[in-house]
Structure 1
Amino acid sequence: MERLDVIGNISRDLTRYPDHRGGPRLGGAALFVSLAATKAGRRAAPVCVLGSDLAHLPEASGLDALDWSARAQFEGSSTSFDLEYDLQGELVAIGTHYGVATCLTEHALRHVDLHPRGTYHVCCRRPLDVVAVLDRLAGNGTDFSVDFFLPSAEAMIRAAADWLPKATSVFVNAVEYRILEQVIDASALPEVVITDGPRAAVVRCFGRQVASAVPPLHHPREVSGAGDTLAGTFLAHRAQGATIAQALAEATAAAARYVAASSLPIPAP
């Protein structure tokens, strides 16, 4: 089975909720997608840049199952996010320090040039230059999927619009899907996975709904990363021959388990 190379950030996060949940933890879409895919049986490699403060992650317990061969390390601080949520799990404020992630685009393009026939998932988040990365992938005829992050979704969807019909899968939440429909004809997209928190997730192929699944009910402890967990799980099961409906059921169940579990602590060096 082809390895999944996940282009995106790995970060030091601080999550905050009105009921005092949250706290410092390990984060980043590239990490959560890769971990979920690995747990679901598919080898995955984060194509990321780590600062000196997270250089020890490849040896950390629980993270050593990932393929870290696609990472780059730079002197300086890793990406960090301050994420504030309301009681319904909606993001209300975000603070960002990109750190060494400003080097992510250059590193990702170099990796794609070295592995033009790989299979990629692109986490369309700042500071990644999605135009440059998607243009390189599409130009190579490479299989790739994409997802977005609501605070930057409109800008990123508009930037990525020309390449979305070539993506094998597009992952969005319900709000992002409404933005997507304003930017591009959604019936031109081969596969769109739409999540909606605790409500039913659906898959649309060329505009037609082909599957839906309601996540199992779990009391949420941490919601940041749930969509990434769903994406990684879905992609892993599809790569192993699961139907769309089977993959969506597995992915929603994995995301529900994720929100009920404890956050990933930042491992000590």
Structure 2
Amino acid sequence: MDRLDVIGNVSLDRTRYPDHGGGARIGGAALFVSVAAAQAGRRAAPVCVLGNDLAHLPKMPGLDVLDWSARRQADGPSTTFDLEYGPQGELVAVGTDYGVAEILTEHALAHVDARPRATFHVCCRRPLDATAVLGRLAQFGADFSVDFFLPSAEAMIRAAAPWLPKATTLFLNSAEYRLLEQVIGCGTLPEVVITDGPRAAVVRSFGHQIASAVPPPQLPVEVSGAGDTLAGTFLAHRSRGATAAQALAEATAAASRYVAAPSLPIPAPRRG
């Protein structure tokens, strides 16, 4: 099975919920997608930029299962996100300091140039220049999938639209899918996975629904990263020949387990 190279952020996050839950943790779409894919049996590599504060991350227990060879180490702080959620688990505010991830686009393009035959997943989130990265992948005829992040989704979807029909799979939540419908004919898209929180997730192929799965009910502890977990799991199972229905069932189950589990704590640097 080929490696999944996941282009995106690895970050230091703080999540906040109305019940005073949440807190500081390790986050970032590239990390969550990669971990989920690895847990589902597919080798995965975050294509990311780590600052000094996360330089030790690849050696931490539980994260050493990833292939960290595609990371870039840079002098400075890692990306930080402050994520505030509403009572229904909806994201209501985002605070961001991109730190060393300002050079993520440069790093990602160099990585694509070096591995044009690899399989990629692109987390279309700032500060990544998704237009440049997707254009390069399309130029090489690379195999790639894509996801979005609601606060920047409208601009990112519009920018990415020319290349989306070339993607193997798109991952969106229901609000992002409505934005997508305004920009592109969804009947041109080979595979779109649409999530809706605790409600049924569906897969659409060239405009037709081909699969549906309701996530197993769980009392959520942390929802940030659930969509990334679903995406990584789905891609891992599809790469092994699972049908869309089989992969969606596995992916929704993994996302449900994720929201009920403790977050990844910020690890202290090792001494010596």
Q: What's the TM-score once normalised by structure 1's chain length? A: 1.00
What's the counterpart of residue 121 of structure 2? Answer: 121
What's the counterpart of residue 223 of structure 2? Answer: 223
Q: CA deviation at 1:123?
A: 0.1
SS of equivalent residue, structure 1 residue 33: helix
Q: Distance in 1 between matches of 2:88 and 2:263?
A: 18
What's the counterpart of residue 31 of structure 2? Answer: 31
What's the counterpart of residue 157 of structure 2? Answer: 157
How many residues align? The count is: 269
Matched, 1:43 2:43: yes
Q: Distance in 2 between matches of 1:127 and 1:155?
A: 12
Give matches, 1:232-247, under 5 Å: 232-247=232-247
Whichever residue aligns with residue 45 of structure 1, its letter is A
SS of equivalent residue, structure 1 residue 23: strand
What's the counterpart of residue 10 of structure 2? Answer: 10
The C-alpha deviation readout for 1:90-121, integer Å capped at 9, x for no partner, is 01111000000000000000000000000000
Matched, 1:195 2:189: no
Give matches, 1:50-199, under 5 Å: 50-199=50-199
Q: Distance in 2 between matches of 1:56 and 1:255?
A: 27
Q: CA deviation at 1:229?
A: 0.1
Q: Distance in 2 between matches of 1:14 and 1:4?
A: 27
Q: Which runs of 5+ in 2 are unaligned?
A: none
SS of equivalent residue, structure 2 residue 95: strand
- Runs of 4+ residues deviating >3 angstroms: none
Q: Which runs of 5+ in 1 are unaligned?
A: none
Q: Distance in 2 between matches of 1:57 and 1:133?
A: 25
Q: Distance in 2 between matches of 1:236 and 1:62?
A: 18
Q: CA deviation at 1:175?
A: 0.2
What's the counterpart of residue 19 of structure 1? Answer: 19
Whichever residue aligns with residue 165 of structure 1, its letter is P
Q: CA deviation at 1:86?
A: 1.1
Q: Distance in 1 between matches of 2:76 and 2:216?
A: 41
Whichever residue aligns with residue 27 of structure 1, its letter is G
The C-alpha deviation readout for 1:112-135, integer Å capped at 9, x for no partner, is 000000000000000000111000
Q: CA deviation at 1:18?
A: 1.0
Whichever residue aligns with residue 210 of structure 1, its letter is I
Whichever residue aligns with residue 244 of structure 1, its letter is A
Cα RMSD of the aligned pairs, angstroms, is 0.4
Q: Distance in 1 between matches of 2:142 and 2:267?
A: 34
Give matches, 1:242-261, under 5 Å: 242-261=242-261
Q: Distance in 2 between matches of 1:232 and 1:58?
A: 19
Q: Distance in 2 between matches of 1:56 and 1:86?
A: 33
Give matches, 1:202-213, under 5 Å: 202-213=202-213
SS of equivalent residue, structure 1 residue 229: helix
Q: CA deviation at 1:87?
A: 1.8
What's the counterpart of residue 266 of structure 1? Answer: 266
The C-alpha deviation readout for 1:204-230, integer Å capped at 9, x for no partner, is 000000000000000000000000000
Q: CA deviation at 1:186?
A: 0.4
Q: CA deviation at 1:237?
A: 0.2
SS of equivalent residue, structure 2 residue 152: helix
Q: Distance in 1 between matches of 2:211 and 2:159?
A: 28
Identity of aligned residues (%): 78
Q: Distance in 1 between matches of 2:53 and 2:159?
A: 31
Whichever residue aligns with residue 84 of structure 2, its letter is E
SS of equivalent residue, structure 1 residue 9: coil
Q: Distance in 2 between matches of 1:87 and 1:220?
A: 12
SS of equivalent residue, structure 2 residue 145: strand
The C-alpha deviation readout for 1:49-69, integer Å capped at 9, x for no partner, is 000000000101110000000
Q: Distance in 2 between matches of 1:94 and 1:110?
A: 29
SS of equivalent residue, structure 2 residue 45: strand
